[in-house]
Chains A and B, each alone.
Chain A
Amino acid sequence: MRIDFSPVLSRLDYLLEGLAVTVLVAVAAIFLSFALGLLLAICRISRTRGLRIFASVYIDVFRNTPFIVQLFFLYYGLPEIGIPTDPMPTGILALSLACAAGNAEIIRAGIETVSKGIVDAGRSFGMSGYQIYRYLILPNALRIAWRPLGNAFVNLVLTTSVLSTITVNDLAGNAANVSAETFKPFEVYLTVLVTYCAVTFTVSGIVNSIYALLFSRVAERPVMRGHA
């Protein structure tokens, strides 16, 4: 069989629409899963026993079950309890819930590398718990956690493709449609594969830029010296 990319090119606009959906879903889920992950990480090491148990059970369950099972549970389950489900919001929700668990573990590991001395120093300066978190613990913890978080975000972008199984019209979903229309699955999926690579490289690039912008100076601040 001849390899022929022209059918793919003729449906390029449709594939690009899918790409836009993928990017939209990924950006939304990255923000939500980061926020939720941060909350879970703080709960996970909180002094309140209930919060600690809740966070560790949550993390354990979401990390040890397949994403697609979680997705089907939400997508087919929510209407049963009277909540109508649209594919896209459900997809973003499932993705955020699932990735929050991984992010929480990464952020927790980052928080645990912050030395106790910094916290004690903050306390002796009369800083409140919030201030200690905001100005002392989190900048350090997030600097340590940022690169693994970047990997988690790349993973999230790749996982968005699973949403096509609940009929979200993302890049993978539209690719399946184009492939069925044109009978050129090889060319279509190869193009899409390379497109996903381009997206993840972009995400990695953005993650690195943010690191350079926010955290490259953190290490030089005198207050952080005890930690490094």
Chain B
Amino acid sequence: MIYQNLEFSIADLYLLWRGLQWTLLVWSVSMALGIGLGFVLSLIRHARIPVLAQMVVVFVETFRNSPLLVQLFLVFYGLPMVTPFAPGPAEAAIFTLSINTAAFTVVNLVAALDAIPRGQWQAASSFGLSYRQTMLYVVLPQAIRTAIPPTMNLAISQLQTTSLVSIIGVTDLTRSGLVLYTRTLKPFIIWPIIGLVYFILAKVLSLLAARVERRLQAKNTWFEAAA
């Protein structure tokens, strides 16, 4: 007879805890990298640097219009076959999620940059400000403020998306759920618990985001009143 331990033990909590750590690690690192990369790409796109700007558009559209799962497979299984670069599960996960997040960030930030009226560029240049100075002191501070709420929403929704990295073997929260499920065969206990952890994380992040948004709003009202 095959012995299978169908009961939960205290050690399973540790498994969940490790899973949670991996989820948060993959999420936070890839959000930081993705938003950073997205920022640089947005500047390239907005400045309409020939060739590079078009490449950014192709990159953004490709990664926004294909499933993250296939992107993960392409990086994890595909890259080692054609490049000397052979990432492990966690590296592949962070790399792919960063690129995916960057693509969505570009959309938000380019929209925010394009929303700055042309008049401000003209006014700045009539004051003798260079492109760099206008960008740095006039346009970016406003554009970033507009782009913060959608970027925060993106980051919150990407938290759910990180669950897909379990498929390439990252031992995140979802993976620990799978491990526990295959051992105990109790789907009605495990999946609600895993779901609940994600739910709580998302709620906490939403609360933080709402707080930041309120602050921004207060600042914007002050800005408009002063103007």
Residues of chain A lying within 8 A (CB to CB) of residue B69: 161-162, 164, 172
Binds B, one of A28-36, A38-46, A130-138, A182-190: A182-190
Indicate if the CB atoms of A154 and B81 lie closer than 8 Å: no
- Residue from the list B61, B66, B163 in contact with A158, Cβ < 8 A: B66
Q: Can you list, as one digit per residue, whether each of B76-88 has a CB less than 8 Å from chain A (1) or not (0)?
A: 0111011000000
The minimal Cβ–Cβ distance linking A56 to chain B, given in whole angstroms, is 14
Residues of chain B lying within 8 A (CB to CB) of residue A70: 191, 195
Residues of chain B lying within 8 A (CB to CB) of residue A200: 65-66
Instruction: Answer whether A73 and B65 are a contact pair too, CB < 8 Å, given A64-B160, A175-B73, A185-B78.
Output: no
CA distance A73 to B71 in the complex (A): 25
The minimal Cβ–Cβ distance linking A53 to chain B, given in whole angstroms, is 17
Indicate if the CB atoms of B62 and A193 lie closer than 8 Å: yes
**Quick check: is B169 within 8 A (CB to CB) of the other chain?**
no
Indicate if the CB atoms of A1 and B81 lie closer than 8 Å: yes
Residues of chain A lying within 8 A (CB to CB) of residue B61: 197
- Residue from the list B71, B73, B174, B181 in contact with A66, Cβ < 8 A: B174
Residues of chain A lying within 8 A (CB to CB) of residue B79: 186
The minimal Cβ–Cβ distance linking A100 to chain B, given in whole angstroms, is 16
- Residue from the list B68, B73, B191, B199 in contact with A185, Cβ < 8 A: B73
CA distance A168 to B164 in the complex (A): 16
Indicate if the CB atoms of B70 and A172 lie closer than 8 Å: yes
Indicate if the CB atoms of B160 and A162 lie closer than 8 Å: no
Indicate if the CB atoms of A176 and B73 lie closer than 8 Å: yes
CA distance A161 to B65 in the complex (A): 12
Indicate if the CB atoms of B74 and A189 lie closer than 8 Å: yes
**Quick check: is A76 within 8 A (CB to CB) of the other chain?**
yes
CA distance A68 to B170 in the complex (A): 15
**Quick check: is B53 within 8 A (CB to CB) of the other chain?**
no
- Residue from the list A80, A159, A186 in contact with B74, Cβ < 8 A: A186
Residues of chain A lying within 8 A (CB to CB) of residue B71: 193
Which residues of chain B from 181 to 215 have a CB within 8 Å of any chain A CB? Answer: 181, 187-188, 191-192, 194-196, 198-199, 202-203
Residues of chain A lying within 8 A (CB to CB) of residue B177: 69, 72
Indicate if the CB atoms of B66 and A196 lie closer than 8 Å: yes
Indicate if the CB atoms of A64 and B73 lie closer than 8 Å: no
**Quick check: is A89 within 8 A (CB to CB) of the other chain?**
no
CA distance A162 to B163 in the complex (A): 11
Residues of chain B lying within 8 A (CB to CB) of residue A158: 65-68
Instruction: Answer whether A159 and B73 are a contact pair too, CB < 8 Å, given A69-B191, A73-B191, A77-B188.
Output: no
Select the residue from A3, A70, A197 with max chain B CB neighbours within 10 A: A197
Instruction: Answer whether A76 and B187 are a contact pair too, CB < 8 Å, given A158-B68, A193-B74.
Output: yes
| Chain B residue at minimum C-beta to C-beta distance from A184 | B81
**Quick check: is A165 within 8 A (CB to CB) of the other chain?**
yes
Indicate if the CB atoms of B73 and A65 lie closer than 8 Å: no
Instruction: Answer whether A154 and B65 are a contact pair too, CB < 8 Å, given A73-B195, A161-B70, A179-B73.
Output: yes
CA distance A1 to B164 in the complex (A): 28
CA distance A183 to B81 in the complex (A): 9
CA distance A158 to B203 in the complex (A): 25
The minimal Cβ–Cβ distance linking A179 to chain B, given in whole angstroms, is 6
Additional pairs, 16, CB under 8 Å, beyond known A179-B73, A189-B70: A3-B82, A61-B195, A65-B195, A66-B161, A66-B162, A66-B163, A66-B195, A68-B164, A69-B195, A158-B65, A162-B67, A162-B164, A183-B81, A185-B74, A189-B77, A190-B74
List, sorted by A's number, 14 A–B pairs whose CB atoms are closer than 8 Å: A1-B81, A67-B163, A68-B164, A68-B167, A70-B195, A72-B177, A76-B187, A77-B187, A161-B67, A185-B78, A185-B81, A190-B74, A196-B66, A201-B65
Shortest 3 CB-CB contacts between residues of A and residues of B: A186-B78, A66-B163, A185-B77
User: Interface on B for A, CB 8 Å cutoff?
Assistant: 61-62, 65-71, 73-74, 77-79, 81-82, 160-164, 166-167, 174, 177-178, 181, 187-188, 191-192, 194-196, 198-199, 202-203
